[in-house]
Structure 1
Amino acid sequence: MKLVIGSDHGGIRLKAAIVRHLEELGHEVKDIGPFENKSVDYPSYAFEVCRNVTEGHADLGILCCGTGIGMSMAANKVHGIRAAVVSDCFSAEMTRQHNNCNVLCLGERVVGEGLALKIVDSWMNAEFEGDRHQRRVDLITEYESNKR
């Protein structure tokens, strides 16, 4: 699977651990940065990850910051992105199965590295169930397309 990942300074260590983990599993990972621990503006990284997903350069995206909240707020401003910040494996599975989430957001200050890697695995191993869930995702997409 092709993934794109980014963070801000608050999620840089977690991002590095996730990249290592995904590469060890054989996934192709594009890390858009940052690569040094200095203050950066998270929306720029969120938008770049989302652009890679919406333009088809990656199947899924992952964003890390201190809480995951800022990244999810920025990511969900991008047309075609369904980002979710989660801190447990069940929510990670459900957001893929029921919401067809294409960007996972994690908080380095909220979840430890071990749990974060389990969340990533749960999210990536889950599949969108379609059917009634597709109808609901379509309603979101339709609203997003008509919004002015």
Structure 2
Amino acid sequence: MRQPHPTRRSLVAAGAALALPGTVLAQAKAPLVGPLAPNPQAFRQAMEQFIGKARPQADGLLLDVPVLADNPSGVPVKVKITLPITEQDWCEEIIVLAELNPSPLACRLQFTAAAGTAEASVRLRLAQSQTVHALARMKSGKVLATKQAVTVAASGCGM
């Protein structure tokens, strides 16, 4: 049997082996830096810009995200307003934010009273395990907010 290279470490699973250089293993454990790093300033700015002076309330907005994402390139997310939609008060806009992605604003959805409902399903690419936030702005000025922690099973965002 051939001995592995002294600067390489091997991963063995189900009869298959993968040899990785020590530098790759060290990089995998290192925190993200550069353009793929989380951008907390952009996250805070997006939250503040959407909320404005309103006080977010937790009731009325449903966020359905799996607790464990086995495919970080396509995490299913469903957002739904559970408050009654009327001609006087409807959901104008919903945003979904991925807190630790390099670009936290994952999607922005706009609605009119004619829609009759405010719900959408999207797939997000998550860079790492993190919290996904959903915010909704009603015509009355009320802001709804909810969040869900998601554990990513593998590296996402093409990393």
The TM-score bracket by the shorter chain reads under 0.3
How high is the TM-score relative to the length of structure 2? Answer: 0.22
How high is the TM-score relative to the length of structure 1? Answer: 0.23
Considering fraction of residues, name the structure with more strand: 2
Considering fraction of residues, name the structure with more helix: 1
Between structure 1 and structure 2, the one with the greater Rg is 2
